[in-house]
Amino acid sequence: MPPGLPGRPSAPTRGLPGGTPLRTVVRMPRAASAPTRYRRPVCAVVASAVLLLGAGCSGGSSPDGPRESRQDGPSSAGPSYPSAGPLEGPYEVRTQTVGPDDVGGRFRGGTVYYPADGSRDYGVIAASPGLGADQSMVQAYGALLASHGFVLITFDTKTPQDSPAQRGRQMLDALDWAAEHSAAAGRADPDRLGVMGHSMGGGAALHAASRDPRIKAAVPLTPYAGKRDWSGVTAATLVVSGSDDEVAPPSGHARAFYDGLDDAKEKAYLELKGDHFVATPPDRLVSRQTVAWFKHFVGGDKAAGEDLCPAPREERVVASRDTCPYG
């Protein structure tokens, strides 16, 4: 079985047969605070220990691009965000729950989040969980990004043990299905795509971006994958890592992946104080950076770059690297 990390089990998802859209308004969750952070089940701890025995931490660095800037510790110039507060954007959010039969078995069902406003087209994003986890691990991003003007599908993989490459292929299927067949298809732009994921889902996002040039942006969160060379990825990529991540240590994963993005003209690396779950669920800082990244590179909102450059000024920012200013 490939290494990775399981996540918490999800509660049963209610929906209508045949992928009928649920015309519901999603209430945005509060930003996570330290006392209420996601708790890992015992199985996750055991699996993490198994992974650590088998996972390597090797990975070389590629030469830095000419525009790249580095920073150790918090920036003195970047934006600063409170750790708590409302996350929602201006759009009312609707959802559609689908099962494996609705999507032709290409993945194991999912949830589509989309703006209720059908007067314009929106970029489409797919989000994958990691090994052993279901879509509940990344669902906070569904409501968050839909409220800021995106169609987002969180999906369950065919099996919880699927590899990053397998998840990446299913991620591409999820993007196509959301753009062409979901309740949001009439307002989805199939040429403005983004991907994201946690752990092996982060590795999946990189695999998907390396296979489909339509993908404009990728956000791997504490990513895990056996591959280090991501020279085939041209999408703008924001890599988020946790300094105390023992499952996917930054030196052999997130940091190495950033170094391996030779063909990505726009990229950023943000290392935060925290473990493998530092970005799931997202706090205020991660939310703002993720939203701004997709707004800039998928939504075409150049003003969003003000939230990205320079890097955030926060005590929890251990290190950052980027290619600011972004085009």
Compute the half-sphere exposure of residue 326: CA atoms within 13 Å on the CB side of its CA: 29
b/e per residue, 102-118, with b = 16+ CB within 10 A? bbeeebbbbbbbbbeee
Burial classification of residue 86, based on how many CB atoms lie within 10 Å of its CB (0-12 exposed, 13-18 middle, 19 or more buried): exposed
Question: Which residues make Cβ contacts (< 8 Å) with residue 35, sequence separation at least 6?
Answer: none
Is residue 189 flagged as an active site residue?
A: no
Compute the half-sphere exposure of residue 106: CA atoms within 13 Å on the CB side of its CA: 17
**From CA 170, how far away is CA 195, in angstroms rounded?**
12
Q: Which of 199, 241, 287, 320 is catalytic?
A: 199
Is residue 259 flagged as an active site residue?
A: no
Is residue 148 flagged as an active site residue?
A: no
Chain centroid, CA 223 distance in Å: 9
122-128 and 150-155: which strand pairing? parallel
Burial classification of residue 238, based on how many CB atoms lie within 10 Å of its CB (0-12 exposed, 13-18 middle, 19 or more buried): buried
Among 289, 274, 263, residue whose Cα is nearest residue 209: 263
Q: Which of 276, 283, 320, 322 is catalytic?
A: 276
User: Catalytic site residues?
Assistant: 199, 245, 276
